Amino acid sequence: MTSNLSSILIPRRLARLPSFSTLAAAGPDSHGFLQGQLTNDVNGADGSHHQRTGYCSPKGRLLTTMIQWKTGEHAWTHLLPAESVDRIGKRLKMYVLRSKVTVLPAGQGLVALGLWGDPGEALSHLSPIETEGLAFRISDFITESEAKGTESTSSVWLLVDRPCPTLGVRGWLVGPPEQIAAAVASLSDLPELPESAWIFSEIQSGKAWVWEATQELFVPQMVNFELIRGVSFTKGCYPGQEVVARSQYLGKLKRRTFRMNLSKEQSALVGGPVTPMVGMDVWSENAVNEPCGRVVAAAPAFSVEGVQTEDTALLIELTMDAWAAGGLRLQDPSGPRLLAAELPYALAAAA
């Protein structure tokens, strides 16, 4: 879908997102290639929708997580952690073989901008569930070649995501650096929040990213990936598919990801909310022999006004038994006490 930005989302705040970049797969065989590599059904990214997808090792452990959307007749772009682009790109290229597929940084590496705001006319009559996953090619930034009908993986796209309960309706604006810079200039009168505010919104949405510190630690269900529609159980084989399917259908899932908070006082015990916490151990007071989980994501909490607080918001992956028992602490058995928070979806649906 091609639309004007303000008809979809009326921006009220923005954040630059340097921790994210892109890879594209293009060519006549790209559909089949991606279908055999990633966890989600490529058909779900149909030009008007984006979706979460993952890339697993043969053991079913996530190597990375991505947002995928279709950018041309035979082209799909993937937004993923910038620190993982080279590693994932090299791995994907290993499996191209004789397929007519080119894997490359889209537009030599697109950049992302996070926008919060009010729904425009195109979204105003839809529920939050209906808007989540929509993808729009933004006409404000169409180049001369695109105006003549040339497909391009370097167009500017707005990917509408789950609204943040605190900061509002949001979308990823993704495009070439010069065009995103122009977008920032045109929105210069808006408050600019740090990237951590966007990570906070992702945490509130219960959406986990696999970073370099946590690669190959999680089967997709451990980070609730199928609950945010990041896994297809009907599309066929991909690396680790058998492990992922067994985790879903054979027995009860033993590990999940939960939302938790650290108060200002507890955050201060580990250096405050700006301290890198991803990968940090989680312990239970009821089982002090070994950690029961780890931090998947962490960011300072923000107020409705967009002001950073001294509390910390986290996603924690741990055993279901440890969650039920409570008494969870960060870093060591006597570390800062973690407080339970709610996810925007039900874990019981897949247990």
Q: pLDDT (tens digit, 9 = 90+) per residue, 60-102? A: 999 999 999 999 999 999 999 999 999 999 999 999 988 999 9
**Domain membership flag for residue 350:** no
**Domain membership flag for residue 266:** yes
**Domain membership flag for residue 347:** no
Judge if 114 and 257 occupy the same domain. Answer: no
CB atoms within 10 A of CB 53: 29
For 7-63, what is each residue's pLDDT tens digit?
999 999 999 999 999 999 999 999 999 999 999 999 999 999 999 999 999 999 999
Cα(90)–Cα(96) distance, integer angstroms:
10
pLDDT at 151: 47
> How far is residue 287 from each of residues 318, 322, 332, measured CA to CA in Å?
13, 8, 11
Domain boundary residue, one of 204, 237, 260: 204
Judge if 179 and 275 occupy the same domain. Answer: no
197: left (phi over 0), alpha (psi -120 to 50) or beta: alpha
pLDDT at 150: 47
- Predicted TM-score (pTM) of the model is 0.94
Q: pLDDT under 50 in the chain at which residues? A: 150-151, 349-351
Judge if 296 and 198 occupy the same domain. Answer: no
Judge if 168 and 231 occupy the same domain. Answer: no
Q: What is the span of the domain harbouring residue 270?
A: 212-342
Q: How many domains does the chain have?
A: 2
pLDDT at 144: 56
Return the CATH number at 144.
3.30.1360.120
Judge if 72 and 177 occupy the same domain. Answer: yes
Judge if 196 and 265 occupy the same domain. Answer: no
Domain boundary residue, one of 153, 182, 204: 204
Judge if 193 and 56 occupy the same domain. Answer: yes
Judge if 182 and 299 occupy the same domain. Answer: no
**Domain membership flag for residue 349:** no
Q: Integer distance in angstroms from the first to the last C-alpha of the chain?
A: 36
Judge if 238 and 185 occupy the same domain. Answer: no
229: left (phi over 0), alpha (psi -120 to 50) or beta: left
The sign of the torsion formed by the CA atoms of 39, 44, 48, 51 equals negative
